[in-house]
Amino acid sequence: MLATKLKTHLAVIPGGLTCQLQPLDVSVNKPLKGFMREECAKWIEAPTHHVTPAGRVKRPSISNVCKWVKNSWQQVKSETIVKSLKKCGISNALDRSEDDILYEESDISSENNHEDDFSGSDDDFLGFCDE
């Protein structure tokens, strides 16, 4: 089996527990999405857009979106990622000195200052036009 060859242990995460056991879900996705929204907002506010004959803004290029992802990822603090791994019981100290982190109630995503940025819904966004 490939996992054995790669010295990897596979684990099945039961339904309903991903919010507790997957580090990205626990603390990283929220600030990352917030930074992405900031990048998109800067692009939308820029005066140099191509528009369709109907006056709608054309969607951003793949190159632009890749830059947004790169810039957004660079803004996520490495401490947030480390704490997120520990919060999920991954990379805790082998001497069990960090086991109490599993039971802390704090939301470590607030360290990236995006805890309350999402009052709107993605459903509100109508998207970009291809034409």
When divided into structural domains, the chain yields a total of 1
The answer to whether position 76 is within a domain reads yes
The answer to whether position 118 is within a domain reads no
* Sign (positive or negative) of CA dihedral 112, 101, 24, 30: negative
The answer to whether position 79 is within a domain reads yes
Section 93-117 average pLDDT: 60
The answer to whether position 12 is within a domain reads no
pLDDT of amino acid 106:
52
Share of the chain above pLDDT 90, in %: 21
The answer to whether position 10 is within a domain reads no
The answer to whether position 83 is within a domain reads yes
Domain that holds residue 98: 21-47+62-112
> Of the ranges 15-24, 59-68, 90-99, which is most confident?
59-68
Vertex 41: Cα angle to 76 and 47 (nearest 5): 135
The answer to whether position 5 is within a domain reads no
Q: Is the pLDDT of residue 119 over 50?
A: no
Q: Say how far apart CA 65 and CA 39 lie, in whole Å.
A: 9
pLDDT of amino acid 102:
66
The tokens of 108 are what? Answer: 């470590």
Instruction: Count how many residues are written for the chain.
Output: 131
Per residue in 1-52, pLDDT (tens digit) is 787 888 888 878 788 887 777 888 878 889 999 999 999 999 988 887 788 8
* Model pTM above 0.95: no
The answer to whether position 123 is within a domain reads no
